[in-house]
Structure 1
Amino acid sequence: MGRTGWKGLCLSLFDYKTEKYVVAKNKKVGLLYRLLQLFILTYLVVWVFIIKKGYQDVDTSLQSAVVTKVKGVAFTNTSALGARLWDVADYVIPSQGENVFFVVTNLIVTPNQRQKTCAEGIGDGRAAGSGSWHCPYSTPAGVKTGRCLRAGNPARGTCEIFAWCPLETKSRPEEPFLKEAEDFTIFIKNFIRFPKFNFSKSNVMDIKNKSFLKSCHFGPESHYCPIFRLGSVIRWAGSNFHEMALEGGVIGIRIEWNCDLDKAASECHPHYSFSRLDNKLAKSVSSGYNFRFARYYRDEAGVEFRTLMKAYGIRFDVMVNGKGAFFCDLVLIYLIKKSEFYRDKKYEEVRSAEEEEEPGTGLSEQPASGPGLQEQLEQPRAQHGSSVRKGNGCVCPQSLEPSR
Structure 2
Amino acid sequence: MTTTFFCNAPKLILEFCTHYETPKVVRFKSTLIAFLSHLTKLLLAIYCILLMLQQDAYQIFDRSPISAVTVKVKDSPNCSHYLNYSCPESRYDAVDFVIPSLENSATSITTRTTETEYVLHLCNKTDFTHQYTCSVKQQCLMPPYYRQLLEKTNQTPPSLCWHQFSPSTKNNYEALDYTLFIKNYVEFPQLHLVRKNLVTDTMRPSYFTSCEYDEKHHRLCPKFRIRKILKLIESKSDEYEQMFHYGSLIEIKIIWKCNLDLSIKKCIPKYEFFRLDMPYSENIFIPGNYFETSRHFYTDEHELRRITTKVYSLRILVTVAGEVGRFDMFQTTTSVGSFLGIFGMGAIICDIVAAYITNFNIVKYDAK
TM-score interval, normalised by the smaller of the two chains: 0.5 to 0.7
Between 1:291-300 and 1:66-75, the stretch displaced more is 291-300
AA aligned opposite 1:92: V
Q: Hey, what does 1:156 align to over in structure 2?
A: none
Residue in 2 that maps onto 1:359: none
Q: Does 1:263 align with 2:258?
A: no
Measure how far apart 1:197 and its partner are. 1.0
In structure 1, the residue matched to 2:213 is 218
Letter in 1 for 2:211: C
| 1:321 aligned partner | 321
Q: 1:330 to 1:96 in 2, by over 3 A?
A: same
CA distance in 1, matches of 2:126, 2:226: 37
State the distance in 2 between where 1:62 and 1:120 align: 63
Q: How far 1:70 sits from its partner (Å)? A: 0.7
Contact preservation (8 Å) 1:255, 1:271: yes
Alpha-carbon contact 1:216-1:227 (below 8 Å) kept: yes
In structure 1, the gaps of 5 or more residues are: 76-82, 126-134, 146-159, 334-404
Greater shift in the superposed pair: 196-205 or 30-39 = 30-39
**Closer/same/farther in 2, CA of residues 162 and 72 from structure 1, 3 Å limit:** farther
Identity, % of aligned positions: 26
8 A contact 1:100–1:315 mirrored in 2: yes
RMSD in angstroms over aligned alpha carbons?
4.2
Q: 2:98 aligned with 1:92, yes or no? A: yes
Matches within 5 A, 1:65-214: 65-72=68-75, 85-94=91-100, 98-110=104-116, 166-167=163-164, 173=169, 177-206=171-200, 211-214=206-209
Larger radius of gyration: 1
For 2:229, the equivalent position in structure 1 comes to 233
Q: Distance in 1 between matches of 2:314 and 2:123?
A: 34
Cα 1:84–1:234 shift into 2, 3 Å: closer
Contact 1:223–1:269 (8 Å) recurs in 2: no
The 3 A distance-change label for structure 1 pair 97 and 61 is closer
> What is the letter of the counterpart of residue 104 of structure 1?
T
Q: Is the 8 A contact 1:244 1:313 kept in 2?
A: no
Structure 1 residues 43 and 105: CA distance shift in structure 2, 3 A: same
| Equivalent residue, structure 1, for 2:26 | 22
Q: Any conservation in 2 of the 1:205–1:225 contact (CA below 8 Å)?
A: no
8 Å CA contact 2:128, 2:163 repeated in 1 = no
Provide the C-alpha distance between the structure 1 equivalents of 2:233 and 2:128, rounded to a whole number of angstroms.
37
Normalization by structure 1: what TM-score? 0.60
Aligned residue number for residue 83 of structure 2: none
Quick check: 238-247 or 294-303, which moved more? 294-303
Q: How big is the shift at 1:71?
A: 0.8
For the residue of structure 2 that corresponds to 1:85, the secondary structure is coil
Work out the CA distance in 2 between the residues paired with 1:40 and 1:24: 23
CA distance in 2 between counterparts of 1:121 and 1:296 reads: 24
Q: What SS does structure 1 have at the residue aligned with 2:91?
A: strand
- The two structures have a TM-score, normalised by structure 2, of 0.65
Q: Distance in 1 between matches of 2:257 and 2:243?
A: 32
Partner amino acid for 1:270? P
Q: Distance in 2 between matches of 1:117 and 1:329?
A: 84
Q: How far is 1:304 from its partner? A: 8.0
Conserved 8 A contact 1:73-1:85: no
Q: How does 1:36-75 map to 2 (within 5 A)?
A: 36-48=40-52, 50-72=53-75
- Residues 290-333 of structure 1, C-alpha deviations (whole Å, 9 max, x = no match): 11234677778999866432111111111111100111143899
In structure 2, relative to structure 1, the CA distance for the partners of 1:87 and 1:161 (3 Å cut) is farther
AA matched with 2:254: I
Q: Is the 8 A contact 1:293 1:310 kept in 2?
A: yes
Cα deviations across residues 139-186 of structure 1 (Å, max 9, x unaligned)? xxxx9x9xxxxxxxxxxxxxx9757x5547567x5xx70111111111
Q: The residue matched to 1:42 in structure 2 has which SS?
A: helix
Give the AA of the match of 1:279. Answer: M
- Structure 1 residues 224 and 180 mapped into 2: Cα distance closer, same or farther (>3 Å)? same
The structure whose residues are more often helix, as a share, is 2
Deviation at 1:39, TM superposition (A): 2.2
SS of the equivalent of 1:217 reads coil
How many equivalent pairs are there? 291
Q: 1:69 to 1:22 in 2, by over 3 A?
A: same
SS at match of 2:49: helix
Which of 51-60 and 298-307 deviates more?
298-307
Seen in structure 2, the aligned counterparts of structure 1 residues 95 and 45 have a Cα distance that, compared at 3 Å, is closer
Report how far residue 288 of structure 1 moved. Answer: 1.0
Q: Which residue matches 1:360?
A: none
Q: Distance in 2 between matches of 1:312 and 1:183?
A: 17
- CA deviation after TM superposition for structure 1 residue 273, in Å: 1.4
| Alpha-carbon distance between aligned partners in 1 of 2:279 and 2:25, rounded to the nearest angstrom | 71
SS in 1 for 2:219: coil
Given that 2:115 and 2:167 are in contact with CA atoms closer than 8 Å, whether structure 1 keeps it comes out as no
**2:248 matched to 1:252?**
no
> 1:314 and 1:332, CA in 2 relative to 1: closer, same or farther beyond 3 A?
closer
Contact 2:132 2:159 in 1 (8 A): no
